[in-house]
Copies of this chain bind each other. A is one copy, B any other.
C-alpha cells in the first residue's frame, strides 16, 4: 500500500498523519477544527492540505463529515464493521474520501457517533481489544460501545463530561466545585456514593455536606467527578467485566480508577495507535 494522508478532523482540533505501508512517517496537529473554518471555507482548506501533502490520497474522519463540516458523510447503521464503513465513504473530489459515522436505532432510542468509529474498529482489528468486548471512550460525551464479531454492535453516549461542566459553571453546587478533580479519596467517595443510584439527590447533597462540615469544600470537585463517572460506569460495565479504555491523561486515570472501584477491570488502549490502525484498514479497502 502506498503513501496516504489520514486526517482526524474534529470540532476543535485537527491531526494529520502521513502513513506509508501502515507506518506513520509524519504527524501534524493544529487547532483548525471545523468550528475554526469560516463558512464556505472548507474547499480552500482541503486544497491547502492537498498541496501541502503533495497530492497524496487523503482520508478524512470526524466532524468534518458532519452537517456542520465540509460535507455530510451520513451514518452507517450498526452493526457496522470496516467493510461497511469503507463501502460507504463519500468522495467529494478525486483522491479525497470522507469516512461516515455510525448510528443505532432500536427500542425507541437513537444514538450516533462520528470519528470514534475509526478508533474502535482499529483497536479490534489491530488486536488491541478482542472482537467481542466493551470499549469506553471518555470525554465531554462518553461513548460505551459493544463490539461483537469485530463490528460496532451497539453503543450509548453519556453526557458525563458535559454534565460536570454544567454543574461547575451554572448549578448552585458549582460554588463548591472550586478545585480540579483528582484521583483521590474524595473521588473514590463519589464513586461509592454513586452505588445509591440517586444521582439527583447525591448532587444536591454536596452543598449541605460543606455546610454541616462533612466534607472539605476543596474535595467537592473530586467528589462530583467520582459521582458522575461512577454513575456512568455502573450503568454500562458489569462487575468482573473487562473494559477497554481509549483515553489518556487525567480523564483516562479517573475512569480506570472508577472502573476498578465498581469491580470491573480497566484495560487501557493507545487511542492514537487505534486510530492509525483503523484509518489504514479503511484506506486499504479503498485502494
Contacts and interface: CB of A to CB of B under 8 A. Distances in A.
A208 B111 contact: yes
B212 A112 contact: yes
A196 B231 CA distance: 12
Interface residues of A, number: 47
Contacts of A142: 200
Nearest to A234: B197
A68 to B, nearest CB: 12
B208 A159 contact: no
* Dominant SS among interface residues on chain A: helix
Nearest to A161: B200
Interface in A185-209: 189, 193, 196-205, 208-209
B212 A159 contact: no
What is the oligomeric copy number? Answer: 2
B214 A160 contact: no
A93 interface: no
A110 B214 contact: yes
Interface of A: 103, 105, 108-112, 141-142, 144, 156-160, 162-163, 166-167, 169-173, 189, 193, 196-205, 208-209, 211-212, 214-215, 228, 231-232, 235-236
15 contacts: A109-B193, A109-B202, A110-B208, A110-B209, A110-B211, A110-B214, A112-B208, A144-B201, A157-B205, A158-B204, A159-B171, A166-B166, A198-B236, A199-B200, A201-B235
